[in-house]
Structure 1
Amino acid sequence: MEDDLFSTIGNGTQIESKVTNTFQKNFVQVQNILDQNKLLINEINQNHESKIPVNLSRNVGLIRELNNNIRRVVDLYGDLSNSFAKSMDASSEGESASAAPTKSDGRGGQKRIRSNG
């Protein structure tokens, strides 16, 4: 299903394999980080419930690691968003080269003429 999503986005426009590979790579990285975060959260909770001073002080480092992981996930999603936007820009540039004729809309802009069919 994911392959279908990435191969036909935006009116059947095919995204280049480089962009698709970037998406897949980033999604795998995000999932790995989220899996690691789950383990960190479990350990933090266990340490907190134990109320043992050494475990509680260890939580400081674990929470820092968790925060850093969350930052990495945000960065990866930002990269995904940028890659997607760039691919859509490139896709629409290809479409505009073969776009339908335009006419003035009376406001200084151009208006696309729709074809019936």
Structure 2
Amino acid sequence: MDSSSAVEEANYQEKPKNSGDQTTVKRWLTGAEKDEGEEECDAEAWETLSKSFKEVQSVLDQNRLLIQQVNENHQSKIPDNMVKNVALIQEINGNISKVSSVYSNLSVNFANCVHQRRVKNKNDKLEHADS
């Protein structure tokens, strides 16, 4: 199951027709209206997610090409090609580290966003209780 299927199953609202409208998409994802501060946080989070996934996909596509080249070199059994595979495999390994780093940063950013949202909600509840 891909991530869009999981999101669709988690939401019971109709998916927006115009996916270019980020506000509509965010409302569809969250199922609620938001105030301006939450909209800004969500827009930033949405942008970070999108950028990170595009970066990861690009690196994974590059690795797919590198792996194909390694396989071709290996099948050729030409000594020079086998030597080239060392550098190609090192590049693949570096790319895997890059993907891991992007996901790690994404996890930290997401956790920070959730923490900030919880603090804000707690502060909002305290303000409403005081008034």
Q: State the TM-score, normalizing by the size of structure 2.
A: 0.66
* Corresponding letter in the other structure for 1:78: S
Aligned residues: 99
Higher helix fraction: Structure 1 or Structure 2?
2
Query: Stretches of 4+ moved more than 6 A in 1?
Result: none
Shift of 1:45: 0.7
C-alpha distance in 2, partners of 1:6/1:68? Answer: 37
Identity %: 35
Structure 2: gaps spanning 5 or more residues: 8-24, 127-131
Alignment of 1:52-91 (within 5 A): 52-91=78-117
Find the structure with the greater CA-based Rg. Answer: 1
Q: State the TM-score, normalizing by the size of structure 1.
A: 0.73
C-alpha distance in 2, partners of 1:49/1:57? Answer: 13
Structure with the greater relative contact order (CA < 8 A, sep ≥ 6): 1 or 2?
Answer: 1
Alignment of 1:21-100 (within 5 A): 21-99=47-125
Against the structure 1 CA distance between its residues 24 and 33, is the aligned structure 2 distance closer, same or farther, given a 3 Å change threshold?
same
Higher strand fraction: Structure 1 or Structure 2?
1
CA RMSD of aligned residues (A): 2.6
C-alpha distance in 2, partners of 1:67/1:82? Answer: 23
* Residue deviations 1:71-107 (CA, integer Å, cap 9, x gap): 000000011001100100011011112348xxxxxxx
Structure 1: gaps spanning 5 or more residues: 101-117
* Corresponding letter in the other structure for 1:83: N
